[in-house]
Amino acid sequence: MDLYSMRDMRQGMLKLDTAGTGQRVDATVVLLGGTGDLATRRVAPALWKLWLGGQLGRRFRLVGMARRELDDQGYRALLDAAIRASLPAGMPGDPARDGFLDRVSYLRGDVSDPAPYAALARLLADPSENALFYLACTPDRFGDAASRIAEAGLAGTNSGTAGWRRLAVEKPFGTDLPSARALNQLLHERYDEDDILRVDHYLGKEAVQNILYFRFYNAIFEPLWNRKHIERVEISATETGGIGDRGGYYDDSGAARDMLQNHLMQLFCLVAMEPPGDFSPEAVRDAKVRLLRSVPHAGPLEAPLDCVRGQYAQGTDGPAYLDEQRVRPGSTTETFVAARLTVDNWRWKGVPFILKTGKALAERACHIVVHFRKDDDTASEANRLLLSIQPDQRVVLTINAKTSGGDSSEREELVGALRDTAGAYPDAYERILGDALRGYSQLFIRFDEAEEAWRLVQPFLEYWKRHPSSGLALYPAGGNGPDLGALYRPDAGQDKAARGA
Ligand code: BG6
């Protein structure tokens, strides 16, 4: 594709802008797992903001389904508290007064059990009604919930409703490659792929979407975006604080399933994929899948060399992982993981991509650092490009400049702040839900993306299963995490290939 005639691409890109606005959407949102952390802390506040922003129509309703003994009033009180707690300090908001809570109701039941779906069918008796079924339950229930919804004729290929019916599935999508494939198969037997929205909320972040704008709206960078000029790329999402009360979920998951397979892999795709033919959802997802397929997965011998894992011990930031609630005694679940990927294509051959994520670290930050190659003929330092996603949203290019009044050079930063971060743009879940309700699929994961990402993580999972405690580095909570020196090993052959020699 000719990068310099980007009309089609621009037209496609504009879709990203229009998704967040437009006419009001009338739909019922059914939150399965409606009392959980995700539903109350992320989804409900995002829906409330859409409501406040006038994006939801008069027929909007929110139905929470969960096992907890609650009535409508109790559920409204739960969401009210959660929404208020989600507001940045000092920001006013009253979901009771603005009419949002009047639209909320509760259905008590187990999402795996057919009974609550019969009650739900009575609520959704009008076939012209639009509905989004949001699976915010624990991942082991996704298959059951999706099946019960389809069996009750509420959604799916056989439902025959006039209104649209969509299924949003939160990550982790499966727990490994075989289970992801099985879940995809189960969903495809009951739903059209177009009606399945696999959610990765990182794609809803403005600064993540900006990666595409940065790469494809700044033609000056494209000639540099390859192995000849880039030495390595680091993609990092670190968090402060331990797992809190999420031990029940996290101990079965760990950092690789919780963050690496999804959020970090998506960032990797956006940074490294080839330019798509256009910016239609399918073309972008095709480009991501092509990239993932170009990554050789680690063999049994490389697996331990290409990843580092760790678990937090007691430190300045809190107790040890093993002392957290609902963590199994002696658990070897990783709370930190870093992996080295390479891409077998012309652009990237020999360039390591280091993906890193962890809990209870010194800093909460998510960024991508592109390290350009050093010019061997001068004493200058290598240039570096930082794409910062959080806490601030910036692009920083580090250059060398003359020291004022001197004869040497010093490092300077060219900073482009994306936007004020004080809530002036939609948060990730607001964007994701807005798009789900409007049927824009660009920010959702296609089944093959999920499977290809699992293919890359699978060798690590298998290695750890065979060697549960091997290489599990303990790091103090609040520190910098395990040493990653092994991932930065020089590889003469690869470096040579990278320079195109
Ligand atoms: C979630 C993970 O998907 O992302 C959490 O399950 C993690 O463990 C969270 O804390 C991080 O999201 P954000 O938007 O706060 O960076």
- How would you write the pLDDT of the chain (501 residues) with one tens digit per residue? 333 333 344 444 434 333 445 679 999 999 999 999 999 999 999 999 999 989 999 999 999 999 999 999 999 999 999 999 988 777 777 877 889 999 999 999 999 999 999 999 999 999 999 999 999 998 899 999 999 999 999 999 999 999 999 999 999 899 999 999 999 999 999 999 999 999 999 999 999 999 999 999 999 999 999 999 999 999 999 999 999 989 999 999 999 999 999 999 999 999 999 999 988 999 999 999 999 999 998 887 788 889 999 999 999 989 999 999 999 999 999 999 999 999 999 999 999 999 999 999 999 999 999 999 998 777 789 999 999 999 999 999 999 998 989 888 889 999 987 765 555 567 899 999 999 999 999 999 999 999 999 999 999 999 999 999 889 999 999 999 999 999 998 764 454 444 443
Closest CA to 324 of 336, 338, 312, 337: 312
Q: How far apart are the first and last CA of the chain?
A: 26
Q: Is the CB of 334 under 6 A from ligand 1?
A: no
Question: Which residue puts its alpha carbon closest to atom 2 of ligand 1?
Answer: 258
Identify the pLDDT of residue 419: 64
Identify the pLDDT of residue 9: 43
Question: Which residue puts its alpha carbon closest to atom 15 of ligand 1?
Answer: 239
- Continuous H helices in 345-478: 428-438, 447-466
Q: Is the CB of 206 under 6 A from ligand 1?
A: no
The upper half-sphere exposure of residue 423, i.e. CA atoms within 13 Å in the direction of its Cβ, equals 10
Test site for ligand 1: of 171, 202, 263, most ligand atoms within 8 A of the Cβ = 263
Q: Is the CB of 258 under 6 A from ligand 1?
A: yes
Identify the pLDDT of residue 372: 97
For 72, the enclosing helix (H) or strand (E) is: helix 72-86
Using the structure block, give the residue that is written with the tokens 């495809």. 188
As annotated, the active-site residues are 263
Coil/strand/helix, residue 27: coil
Number of H helices, E strands in the chain: 14, 16
Long-range CB pairs of 467-474, under 8 A, 24+ apart, other chains included: 467/304, 468/332, 469/332, 470/304, 471/304, 471/308, 471/309, 472/309, 472/310, 472/311, 472/332, 472/334, 473/308, 473/309, 473/310, 473/311, 473/336, 474/310, 474/311, 474/312, 474/313
Residue 400 backbone phi and psi in degrees, to 5: -105, 135
Instruction: Look at strands 131-135 and 165-170 and give their pairing.
Output: parallel
Q: Is the CB of 170 under 6 A from ligand 1?
A: no
Identify the pLDDT of residue 276: 94
Superfamily of domain 3-170: NAD(P)-binding Rossmann-like Domain (3.40.50.720)
Task: Annotate 118-151 with DSSP letters as a single string.
Answer: HHHHHHT--TT--EEEEE-S-GGGHHHHHHHHHH
Question: Which residue puts its alpha carbon closest to atom 10 of ligand 1?
Answer: 239
Identify the pLDDT of residue 491: 64
Q: Is the CB of 239 under 6 A from ligand 1?
A: yes
Q: How far is the CA of 465 from the centre of ligand 1 (A)?
A: 24
Closest CA to 187 of 153, 152, 144, 154: 144
- Distant-in-sequence, close-in-space partners of 372: CB < 8 Å, separation ≥ 6: 224, 229, 230, 231, 382, 383, 384, 385
Identify the pLDDT of residue 500: 44
CA distance 301 to 263: 26
Using the structure block, give the residue that is written with the tokens 């990203």. 16
Identify the pLDDT of residue 18: 37
Closest CA to 302 of 341, 334, 349: 341
Identify the pLDDT of residue 144: 97
| Domain 3-170 and domain 205-394+459-499 have a common topology | no
Identify the pLDDT of residue 122: 96
Task: Delimit the domains of the chain by residue range.
Answer: 3-170, 205-394+459-499
Q: How far is the CA of 263 from the centre of ligand 1 (A)?
A: 9
CA dist list (Å): 304 to 5, 338, 408, 443: 44, 11, 43, 33
Class of the CATH domain delimited by 205-394+459-499:
alpha beta
